[in-house]
């Protein structure tokens, strides 16, 4: 997301063709985050990782009904932990964060359970490979090696890259390439 009050947030808020739900979503991103969902999500992830001594993967799905604040909670969580938010699923009107339509369509291209497993593995491999390249090529050059807040700066810069130019229903140029 752009800083609060930016043009990308106000694009839908001032556009007459946007639904009331879309306008409300856009306006909510222009205000300070309220609630504890991001912290509760973090606690739950930490609790699960503690209970599972050797988790198979360090990832978590976060599902619930549309419009319940999932994307905003994940965005807030991404201020503290390295996070790659992915929204996959058909939304009738777009949203924050927008659906990754090419990924969604690609993930549906399978004919068997074995092929599905390979598609998911290939998707995750591509996401993590691209994330590594972004960190190495675009983020790390901006962070001083002796910076005591190095990890926080890496997390912040990565989040900024991922959300740069995002508007209601559409990812920014960088994220579309990602």
Three-class SS state of 169: coil
Q: Name the average pLDDT for the chain.
A: 75
Structure confidence at residue 147 as a pLDDT band (50, 70, 90) = very high
Question: Mean of the pLDDT values across residues 110-121?
Answer: 88
Question: Mean of the pLDDT values across residues 116-143?
Answer: 89
Nearest Cα to 140, choosing from 160, 154, 126? 154
Question: Mean of the pLDDT values across residues 134-160?
Answer: 92
What is the per-residue pLDDT for 136? 93
Boundaries of every domain in the chain = 7-177
What lies within 8 Å, CB to CB, of 129 at 6+ separation is none
Three-point CA angle 10, 84, 116, nearest 5°: 120
The pLDDT tens digits for 60-110 are: 677 776 677 787 888 888 888 888 877 776 655 555 566 666 777 777 788
* Alpha helices (H) along 17-134: 20-28, 37-51, 70-77, 101-107, 113-134
Distance between CA atoms of 152 and 160, rounded to whole angstroms? 12
| Residue 131: pLDDT over 80 | yes
Taking the model in full, what pTM does it have? 0.66
């Amino acid at each position: 997301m752009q800083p609060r009050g930016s043009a990308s947030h106000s694009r839908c808020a001032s556009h007459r063709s946007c639904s009331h739900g879309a306008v409300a979503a856009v306006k909510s991103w222009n205000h300070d985050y309220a609630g504890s969902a991001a912290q509760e999500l973090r606690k739950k992830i930490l609790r699960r990782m503690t209970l599972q001594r050797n988790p198979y993967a360090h990832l978590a799905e976060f599902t619930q009904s549309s419009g319940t604040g999932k994307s905003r909670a994940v965005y807030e969580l991404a201020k503290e932990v390295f996070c790659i938010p992915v929204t996959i699923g058909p939304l009738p009107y777009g949203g924050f964060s927008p659906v990754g339509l090419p990924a969604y369509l690609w993930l549906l291209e399978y004919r068997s359970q074995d092929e599905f497993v390979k598609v998911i593995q290939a998707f995750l491999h591509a996401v993590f490979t691209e994330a590594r390249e972004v960190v190495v090529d675009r983020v790390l050059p901006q962070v001083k090696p002796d910076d005591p807040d190095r990890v926080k700066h890496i997390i912040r810069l990565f989040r900024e890259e991922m959300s740069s130019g995002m508007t209601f229903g559409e990812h920014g140029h960088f994220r579309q390439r990602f």
